[in-house]
Structure 1
Amino acid sequence: MCIHTLVGSNSAITEPIYKRNNFCRGLVHIRLTLLPNTLEMALRRLQKEFADIKRDPPGGCSAGPVNDNDMFEWQASITGPPGSPFENGVFYLKIHFPPDYPFKPPRVNFTTKVYHPNINSQGNICLDILRSQWSPALTASKVLLSILALLTEPNPDDPLMPEIARQYKTNIDKYNSTAREWTRKYAS
């Protein structure tokens, strides 16, 4: 039996190797289908997610690539949820997708300052689905909706900003007042 491995192509081989290369005639041949590499899988997934967001944007959110040449760097915006201290604010975020997305979570950071127990001064977000609870079934839309929900319902038991979490637990009125003030100052 004659077995040959082809590398360097990401398209499916649709004819037997012996016909392509004029060897192994009369011997057992194998059709090879080369799997796309991880980077190409990530690129296709991101293109699909972007098309889905354009077709059916998640409520209160928008997102897309920073430029046409790089699908791995996105910018996003979230409108502050009604009834929250972030109401009427527009919050901007950067999303960086790793080359092995969706098997690893994106890195998401606020670029707008936010007064929140789960968001620090560098814009890092403490959200379980961006860490230990990540699943390849999650999408950029679901991540943005989860961040939107986090604005409405902070998790003071897993804070990035312990002093803000303490204020949220002990003096919610002061927390809401400061969060509203920051929203007016930084997200208007």
Structure 2
Amino acid sequence: MALKRLNKELYDIGCNLPSYISTGPIDNDLFHWQATIMGPSDSPYSGGIFFLDIKFPSDYPFRPPKVRFITRIYHPNINYNGSIYLDILTDEWSPIFFISSGFNQIFIIQVLLLICSLLTYPIPANSLDPDITNLFKNNRNRYEATAREWTRQYANKRKDQMKAYVKNGQTSSSSFD
């Protein structure tokens, strides 16, 4: 079941992936993917390229993928080792979700879009780093300055490769080797 679902998602990605996200299997392993997200322009992560590691369990989609940032990032919902607190990746995971037109399946693209949204709109109630959350709540300017500095320092490597990667529609990590 998982292989069939992952093959379908990989096929669908070619049609539905926004230009600021890329993803695909590493070394043709459908259970291990890499993703890249370009920092949203309306966030302190603007201009950054963030790499993520995605591991799908053997019983996917009945259990969520494990998604973590490889690129260091200063964010209240992402901890020092890249773990992300996003409801949909924990207790709230379900292989389907309800939208106004009825039930629909959750695909990795929706997860990546939610992570992009989290970069623009952190959720202090779901904090993984109390110090960053405190700064976010009490001194937004300093939080944003620190996030911009971390983005400049850690998320600007290989920008030319990322642009070519997105432009060519490639979904394999091989273009970064």
User: TM-score with structure 1 length normalisation?
Assistant: 0.77
User: Residues 95 and 107 of structure 1 are in contact (CA less than 8 Å); yes or no, is this contact kept in structure 2?
Assistant: yes
Q: For 1:70-85, what aligned pairs fall within 5 Å after superposition?
A: 70-85=29-44
Deviations, residues 101-142 of structure 1 (Å, cap 9, x unaligned): 000000001000000000011000000000011110211000
Aligned to 1:89: 48
Partner of 2:166: none
**Secondary structure in structure 2 of the residue aligned to 1:95:** strand
TM superposition shift of 1:54: 1.7
Q: 1:116 is aligned with what amino acid?
A: H
Per residue, is there more helix in 1 or in 2? 2
Amino acid at match of 1:77: T
- Please say which structure displays the higher CA radius of gyration: 1
Does 1:50 find its partner at 2:16?
no
Alpha-carbon deviation of 1:78? Answer: 0.4
Q: How far does residue 58 in structure 1 lie from its aligned partner after superposition? A: 3.1
- Could you say what secondary structure the match of 2:5 adopts? helix
Tell me: CA distance 1:115–1:154, structure 2 relative to 1, closer, same or farther (3 Å): same
Which segments of structure 1 move beyond 6 Å, counting only runs of 4 or more? none
Instruction: State the Cα RMSD in Å.
Output: 0.8
Q: Is the 8 A contact 1:58 1:141 kept in 2?
A: no
Aligned partner of 2:20 among 60, 66, 74:
60
Matches within 5 A, 1:15-30: none
Is 1:102 the equivalent of 2:72?
Answer: no
**Counterpart Cα distance in 1 of 2:13 and 2:74:** 27
Give the gaps of 5 or more residues in structure 2. Answer: 96-104, 157-177
Structure 1: 5+ residue runs without aligned partners? 1-40
What is the aligned length? 147
Shift of 1:179: 0.2
> 3-state SS of the aligned residue for 1:108?
strand
Considering Cα pairs closer than 8 Å and 6+ residues apart, tell me whether 1 or 2 has the greater RCO.
2
Identical-residue share of aligned pairs (%): 52
The answer to whether structure 1 residue 172 and structure 2 residue 140 are counterparts is: yes
- The partner residue of 1:152 within 97, 120, 138 is 120
